[in-house]
Amino acid sequence: MAQAASSPDVTPRQGSRSLPLWTSGNEGGSEQLSEFMKALETYKKKDTAKVVVRFKGVGNAPIMKQNMYKITATNRFQAVIQFLRKELGWQNGEPLFLYINSTFSPAPDDTVLNLFKSFSTEGYLIVNYSTTPAWG
């Protein structure tokens, strides 16, 4: 018969850190609670930073009357795709290809801020759009 292995005594590693305990008393609990609430309020605040995006039609894509928009920097590129579809009046099934600076198509989960920091030109992010594949 197999015997159950006895569990070894678990001792903390030397130099390891432990998580802070949540105390509820006069031992600094109210201070911890206020720090927690302050951090939570900071996290809840919306980031209002905006990025200027310039749309350029390519090939037989319709030209927009207004081609510069301010978009929230923390948005994913998917939001830019949806915004452009709405502005052009296109349905989800209709083809739409977007490129940054006429070179590559970003992933929908890239943030607008990261794309702006890496590929902005003259203070705005250039987004080319087309109804057919234009660049690799």
Tokens of 112: 């607008």
* pLDDT beyond 50 at 84: yes
Q: What is the pLDDT of residue 109?
A: 94
Q: Which of 46, 106, 97, 54 is nearest to 72 (CA)?
A: 46
Q: What is the pLDDT of residue 22?
A: 55
Q: Which of 59, 82, 79, 65 is nearest to 128 (CA)?
A: 59
Average pLDDT score over residue span 51-74:
92
Lowest mean pLDDT among 9-18, 38-47, 123-132: 9-18
Q: What is the pLDDT of residue 21?
A: 56
Cβ–Cβ under 8 Å, residues 67 and 126: no
Q: What is the mean pLDDT of the chain?
A: 81
